[in-house]
Structure 1
Amino acid sequence: MTSGRILALTCLAMLAFAANSIFCRVALRDTDIDPASFTAIRLCSGALTLWLILALRNQGQKLTGNWPSALALFCYAALFSYAYTSLAAGTGALLLFGAVQVTMIGYALVQGEPFTPLRWLGLAVALAGLIGLMLPGLSAPPLLASLLMAGAGVAWGVYSLRGRSGGSPSLATAGNFIRSAPLALLLGAVAWLAGTLEIDPAGAFWAIASGALASAIGYLIWYAALPHISATNAATIQLSVPVIAAVAGIILLGEALTLRLVLTSIAILGGIALVIRQKPAST
């Protein structure tokens, strides 16, 4: 694969990941769809899209994945949807990404990976940024929504860690999406019983776009590029996602750019970049 093709695929994947935040925020802010319905339609459309694409490839391979990973995927998607009822797109993406990376870095620490002083500094700065973003104040995002998005980040971090065990990422992702679909439908049933279920055509459109395009096809594009990118570069490239989401939120959704968001973004993304780019200390 040529370097130009790798670059193009990588850029498309990052745009798709950021689009998830935009699509979800638009649906839950500007349409009547509820978070449970958005989650159910997103995961079901993603599962169907992945199944169709892999079936058309006719590779003769069975889907993989497992129920614990599917549960982590479902928790991420559900918490993500409920958080975006009151979070700005850029703020939500920043909280999500920060929580994902802190979860994965924390796992590395628990596993005994040695850290240099600069990596410890980076982790401390990133954590300070996350805390600073959620501290009370006039420009602070709603605390409950922030905690829900942080929970979504932890769930996605767990999902990502479980996916490092090997095998085909595409087959595992498809299998996990298909397993998550009944969990999402169960959430929809609970919302219906509670009287909160509400679906409209516009909201369903954005949920399908999130599931089929930004999630399913976005992940396949990313997995096509990933083997040609080093682990460090792949992690660093993903720092662009909250920035893209924040810029898109300002331009497309008219969201405000606050000093708190700018300063905490620098702390979170800069701290994580310092951890990623520094080589582990020798044992």
Structure 2
Amino acid sequence: MRLIALTTLTMIAFAANSLLNRAGLAGDHIGPAGFALIRVVAGAVTLWGLVALGSRGLPQRPRPDWVAVLALVAYLLGFSFAYLALDAGLGALILFAVVQVTMFAGAVIGGDMPPGRRWVGMAVSLCGLAYLVWPGADARMDPLAIALMIVAAIGWGVYSLVGRRAEAPLEATTWNFIYAAPLVLVAVLPFLRDERMGVVGVGLAIMSGALTSGLGYALWYRVLPQLAASTGALVQLSVPVIAIFAGVIFLGEDLSLRLVLASALVLGGIAVGLLPRR
């Protein structure tokens, strides 16, 4: 029950990241480069403080895990820039569909062969996602935004797979954020001059970095070792459904019949994949 509660809390934090990012960009409160930079710095500062308090001193600097760091950078940059043209829920659906494929592939390569019902659950969920993004009258698809979100998804999938072997989740997440911050700064520097940074946008970015990213990812690293890679991939498909309905409520995004049916398929697939064998 504790694992379920922690996993649910983590999924809500992931969905909140989509809402905060989209709210900042859609409202023209901040640009994607500024949001990504403030987000990673706020996350690094918050996590550093927690580690310092927990260890009662300055934590020792480990060697960077460059696979995790670069995967985190790819996720942060692709995520922020993709939300210039995608709604919160649609972006989350594309993100976690590709995350699921990435993590399932990683599970198979790593020898963690998922049972048949989990493959069925993944297939049902992906059918729901495909139905949602299939070109139609109510679909808003920007090719560049989709490509950026796919890059973000592969980054997050790899980051999650690496996180399964973390022995100290909070410390690992902290140093990943610290090492990622200067790389994000170098990447976004050419864009910052032309971007707006309002008080509301900065506040949203700080909230995303400190709470829903920093603390949320530390919690995810804590939960991941207790989940099979395929299970971790499957439960993340609940995030787009949360983001869709939260986007409708808080951001005024459209709710269509297609959205409702696709969400039902996604949740049904998760249920099938997580059911016990009996």
Q: Common fold, TM-score beyond 0.5?
A: yes
Q: Quote how far apart the aligned CAs of 1:276 are.
A: 4.9
Cα gap change, 1:59 to 1:102, in 2 (>3 Å): farther
Name 2:55's counterpart in structure 1: 58
1:18–1:244 contact (8 Å) kept in structure 2: yes
1:165 is paired with a residue whose SS is coil
Equivalent residues in 2 for 1:63-142, closer than 5 Å: 63-64=61-62, 65-111=64-110, 113-114=112-113, 118-142=117-141
Q: Partner residue of 1:152?
A: 152
**1:40 is the counterpart of 2:37:** yes
TM alignment of 1:103-252, pairs within 5 A? 103-111=102-110, 113-114=112-113, 118-144=117-143, 145-192=145-192, 196-223=194-221, 226=223, 231=228, 237-252=235-250
Distance verdict in 2 for CA 1:190–1:100, change over 3 Å: same
Measured after TM superposition, the shift of residue 222 of structure 1 is: 4.4
Range with greater deviation from structure 2 (14-23 or 239-248): 239-248
CA–CA separation in structure 2 for the residues paired with 1:164 and 1:227:
5
Question: Is the 8 Å Cα contact of residues 47 and 177 (structure 1) preserved in structure 2?
Answer: yes
Describe the SS at the equivalent of 2:250. Answer: helix
- Letter aligned with residue 83 of structure 1: A
TM-score for the superposition, normalised by structure 2:
0.84
TM-score with structure 1 setting the length: 0.83
Is the contact between residue 188 and residue 197 of structure 1 (CA under 8 Å) also seen in structure 2?
no
Q: Contact 2:86–2:140 at 8 Å: present in 1 too?
A: yes
Q: Which stretch shows the higher mean deviation, 231-240 or 117-126?
A: 231-240
Aligned partners of 1:215, 1:197: CA distance in 2, in Å?
Answer: 22
User: What corresponds to 2:259 in structure 1?
Assistant: 261
Q: Of 12, 28, 31, which residue of structure 2 is paired with 1:31? A: 28
Letter in 2 for 1:27: G
Deviation at 1:271, TM superposition (A): 3.5
Q: Tell me which amino acid in the other structure corresponds to 1:188.
A: V
1:101, 1:272 within 8 Å by CA — same for their partners in 2?
A: no
Q: Any stretches of 5+ residues in structure 2 without a counterpart?
A: none
Query: How high is the sequence identity, in percent, across the aligned residues?
Result: 46
Q: Distance in 2 between matches of 1:246 and 1:29?
A: 15
Aligned in 2, Cα 1:43/1:96: closer, same or farther, shift over 3 Å?
A: same
Deviations 1:66-119 (A, max 9, x none): 122111101111111111112221222222222211211122234455465544
CA contact (8 A) 1:14 1:238 kept: yes
- Unpaired segments of 5 or more residues in structure 1? none
One-letter code aligned to 1:186: V
After TM superposition, give the deviation of residue 128 of structure 1 in Å: 3.5
The alpha-carbon deviation at position 8 of structure 1 amounts to 5.6
1: CA distance between counterparts of 2:136 and 2:7? 37
- CA contact 2:28–2:196 (8 Å) conserved in 1: no
TM-aligned CA distance change 1:196 to 1:132, over 3 Å: farther
Counterparts in 2 of 1:229 and 1:216: CA distance versus 1, 3 Å: same
CA contact (8 A) 2:100 2:237 kept: no
